Copies of this chain bind each other. A is one copy, B any other.
Amino acid sequence: MYNQEALVNRLHARGIRVTPQRAMILRAVEAMPGHVTAEELYAAVQAESPYVNLATVYRTLDLLKSLDLITDADMGTGATHYALRSHADHHHAICRACRHSVEFPDHLLSGLIHDLHTGYGFEAEANHIVVFGLCAACAKIEELHSSPA
């Protein structure tokens, strides 16, 4: 867990300009609980200053992504969800029927990541990924639908 101004400091450290817009966006990212869409961040930042553009939010998110300070994930809602790297000590299993999400720990992926690395030299960037499928409850329901004989 790092302090509130961590992202700002990191950008400074790498010699990247920290404009007022960026500072606001970074603070908004850090203040967000869990995953956020660009639109949600935009709303949060607008509350502080109405003169920040959505395009700038996207551009800043791209920047943070390229610096590996945030993760992005498609949670199946249409919009990309962003989160701090420090958030991502887990992954998500999302039910395609009821949309419920189960968090599962990082180590469940360690086997796959290891195999990809030793087998193919591939460095998987599986920081905060999403696996789709059916939750226990919805799986039961689908079962009834397919074999009611």
User: Chain A: residues with CB nearer than 8 A to chain B?
Assistant: 74, 93, 95-96, 102, 104, 108-109, 111-112, 115-116, 119-126, 129, 131-136, 139
Contacts and interface: CB of A to CB of B under 8 A. Distances in A.
Given A93-B116, A96-B125, A108-B112, 15 more contacts: A74-B74, A95-B122, A104-B119, A104-B120, A108-B119, A120-B135, A121-B135, A122-B131, A123-B134, A123-B139, A124-B133, A125-B132, A125-B133, A125-B134, A126-B131
Contact of A104 (B104, B116, B125): B116
What is the count of identical protomers in the complex?
2
Contacts of A125: 96, 132-134
Contacts of A112: 108-109, 111-112, 131
